Every structure is written in structure tokens, then in C-alpha cells.
């Protein structure tokens, strides 16, 4: 069954140009090989005068409700979250790459949305991700967690930072940890990676790391972090078990990033196997 006529009907109903379907991007396909596309309805743009009115109408028509992307990540399963973040990242990339940076002319999207081409300069633009390292540092019995002032109240995570041009992942991990808490790392071990939508598209590369025995004194860089500290295995295991931000924010205890965040996986891996950062790679 083609959903195109249905989508055209909805767009027309909400006063949108049905040609906008051409702005859709391919984000995956079902087990039955049906292609899944995503389309930005532009409801957040300030140029859309009737945006809030249209939002309310759409919620009724589609029997759903619009929700903040970060909040949605607490509620979705891995598969749906991945579709949602791919859609959001790709649509945002297209929106920000409408013009060629060499010729200044409009660029043109291919059907799938996997690239844009400038007909004048012939430059092909591909969607980009910024590599970000995220590291859970351990001293053998405790792990180091930190928070930025922009984090939700009470949430602590592993140390993260963007890779600089020319750096290897290992160099980025060592530099970020040295910059943010003044520690020199001993061993590093790759854990896993994930695409992350915030602040734009990032490829999060997660590692465990250990410090030399006895070299655990931290100097928190207050320009980057609000607080950082060593947490015992018990404290972190307890926080993982009761990880519900909505109740934790109220009773003042610290809590950890949601299950879908790679920081959560990294912390969980350490809780289950505290020696993981010191084992040979
Ligand atoms: N998925 C997860 O589990 C987690 C994801 N993160 C993500 O990691 C990202 C990086 O962590 P931070 O400590 O904020 O990084 P950071 O320690 O490198 O500091 C951020 C600063 O880096 C600079 N920067 C350099 N390259 C940048 C780029 N391509 N885009 C934006 N800013 C750039 C900016 O000045 C920015 O203010 C965060 O945006 C956060 O969303 C952080 C923790 C957990
Ligand atoms: Mg950082």
C-alpha cells in the first residue's frame, strides 16, 4: 500500500504544499522491505505563522502528541529511538545545507536524502557526524562521574568531549580527561559506539580507562564541568537500579543517563565487571 496519497491529503489538510513530500529522507526499511521516509513538517520554524495551530490539529488527526526529543528517548525502545534520531539528524543536516559554500547556489537533495549536490560547482555534500569520545575512568574500585551545568538536575555521566582535527581517538581521550579533571590515564579499552543527536549529529565512541594506582587526585576544570568525583561500586550500582530521573530529581539523589545513552551502557558494563578497564584489549 502506498502512503503517498494519504500523506498528500494530510499536507493539503494542514495547508502545506504537497510538493514538500520531495523533501523526505530515507531512514530505514521494515522487515517486509517497505521503505521508511521522514519528513520535517516545519512546525518549529518561526516562518510558519500557524505552526502551533497546525500542531494541535495534527495531534488530533494523528491521535498522538508532539514531545521533546530528549524526553522521547527515555520512553522509546532502541529500534524506534534509532529511527527517530536518524530522521532528526538527517532532516536537520538537509535544512542546514541548502546552499553551496563555494558557489552560494542552492544545492539539490537526491531522492533518498543521502547527499546534496551543487549543480553549479558540482560539489557533493554528504551528511556529517562529529566524533566525540566518552570515557569512564576507574581507579580499580571507584569510577569517575561528572556533570555539566547544562545537565538535568542531579544527573552525572562519564567524561565526554569532541575530537580535535588531526587527533586519534586515543589522543582525544587522554587530552579530554587531562583537560577536564587533570588525570593522566594508564590503560584504555574501547567499549562501543553510538550515533547521538545532541547538540548536532555526533558519533559517540565509548572507552573504559584506568589511572595509575595512587594517582587519583582530581582537579575539576570548572569552565567545563560543574562537579566531578569518584563514586564507589555500591553507589553506582544502586543508582543504576533506581534510575528514574523523575523521582531522583525530587529527592536529591544523583542519577545516571537513560538506558539508550551510551554513557549508561558504559557505566553498566563497569558495574557488572569493574576490572574491564584494566584487562588487556
Ligand atoms: N550519549 C551519551 O551517553 C552522552 C553524550 N554526550 C554528548 O557528548 C557531547 C560532547 O561532550 P562535551 O563535554 O559537551 O564536549 P567538550 O568537552 O568537547 O566541550 C564542548 C565544547 O567543545 C567545543 N566543540 C568542539 N567541537 C565541537 C563540535 N563539533 N560541536 C559542538 N561543539 C564543539 C564547543 O566549544 C563546546 O562548547 C555533548 O554534546 C553531549 O550531548 C555526553 C555525555 C553522555
Ligand atoms: Mg566535556
User: Model's pTM, two decimal places?
Assistant: 0.89
Name the closest ligand to CA 193: 1
User: pLDDT by residue (tens digit) across 85-100?
Assistant: 999 999 999 999 999 9
Ligand 1 site, residue 198, Cβ cutoff 6 A:
yes
Compute mean pLDDT per 10 residues along the chain, 281 residues long, and list them. 78 84 93 92 61 78 87 84 92 95 98 97 97 97 96 94 97 98 97 92 97 93 97 95 64 84 96 80 55
Please name the residue that has the C-alpha cell 561528572. 146
Beta sheet of 116-117, edge-to-edge order: 108-109, 116-117, 124-125
- For residue 17, the model assigns a pLDDT of 85
Would you state the pLDDT for residue 42? 73
pLDDT of residue 5: 86
Q: CA 237 → CA 242, 260, 270, 275, distances in Å? A: 9, 17, 9, 15
Q: For the chain, first and last CA: distance in Å? A: 49
User: Atom 37 in ligand 1: which residue has the minimum CA distance?
Assistant: 224
Question: How many angstroms separate the CA atoms of 243 and 183, rounded?
Answer: 28
Contact of 181 with 218, CB cutoff 8 Å: yes
DSSP string, 202-242: EEEEEEEEEE-TT-------TTT-SEEEEEEHHHHHHHHHT
Write the pLDDT tens digit of every residue in 244-278.
Answer: 655 555 566 889 998 889 999 999 999 999 888 77
**ipTM of the prediction greater than 0.90, yes or no:** yes
Residue whose Cα lies nearest atom 43 of ligand 1: it is 160
pLDDT in tens, 58-68: 888 889 888 88
Indicate if ligand 1 lies below 6 Å from the C-beta of 159.
no
Q: Determine if ligand 1 sits within 6 Å of the CB of residue 199.
A: yes
Please give the backbone phi and psi of residue 133, each rounded to the nearest 5 degrees, phi first: -95, 145
Residue 209 beta carbon below 6 angstroms from any ligand 1 atom: no
| Torsion 174-177-183-188 (CA) sign | negative
Amino acid at each position: 500500500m502506498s502512503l503517498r496519497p494519504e500523506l498528500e491529503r494530510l499536507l493539503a489538510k494542514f495547508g502545506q504544499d504537497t510538493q514538500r513530500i520531495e523533501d523526505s529522507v530515507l531512514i530505514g526499511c521494515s522487515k517486509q522491505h517497505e521503505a521508511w521516509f521522514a519528513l520535517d513538517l516545519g512546525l518549529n520554524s518561526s516562518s510558519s505563522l500557524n505552526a502551533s495551530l497546525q500542531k494541535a490539529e495534527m495531534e488530533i488527526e494523528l491521535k498522538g502528541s508532539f514531545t521533546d526529543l530528549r524526553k522521547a528517548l527515555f520512553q522509546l525502545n532502541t529500534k524506534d529511538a534509532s529511527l527517530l534520531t536518524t530522521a532528526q539528524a538527517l532532516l536537520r543536516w538537509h535544512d542546514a545545507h541548502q546552499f553551496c559554500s563555494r558557489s552560494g547556489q542552492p544545492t539539490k537533495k537526491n531522492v533518498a536524502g543521502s547527499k546534496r549536490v551543487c549543480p553549479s560547482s558540482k560539489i557533493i555534500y554528504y551528511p556529517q557526524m562529529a566524533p566525540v569520545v566518552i570515557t569512564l575512568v576507574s581507579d580499580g574500585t571507584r569510577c569517575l562521574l561528572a556533570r555539566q551545568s547544562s545537565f538535568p538536575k542531579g544527573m552525572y555521566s562519564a567524561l565526554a568531549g569532541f575530537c580535535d582535527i588531526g587527533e586519534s581517538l586515543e589522543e582525544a581521550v587522554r587530552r579530554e580527561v587531562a583537560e577536564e579533571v587533570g588525570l593522566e590515564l594508564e590503560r584504555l579499552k574501547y567499549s562501543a559506539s553510538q550515533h547521538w543527536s545532541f547538540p548536532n549529529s555526533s558519533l559517540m565512541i565509548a572507552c573504559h580507562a584506568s589511572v595509575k594506582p595512587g594517582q587519583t587526585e582530581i582537579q575539576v576544570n570548572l569552565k567545563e564541568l560543574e562537579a566531578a568525583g569518584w563514586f564507589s561500586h555500591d553507589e553506582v550500582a544502586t543508582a543504576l537500579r533506581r534510575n528514574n530521573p523523575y523521582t531522583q530529581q525530587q529527592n536529591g539523589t544523583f542519577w545516571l543517563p537513560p538506558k539508550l545513552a551510551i554513557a549508561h551502557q558504559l557505566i553498566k558494563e563497569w558495574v557488572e565487571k569493574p576490572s574491564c578497564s584494566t584487562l588487556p584489549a
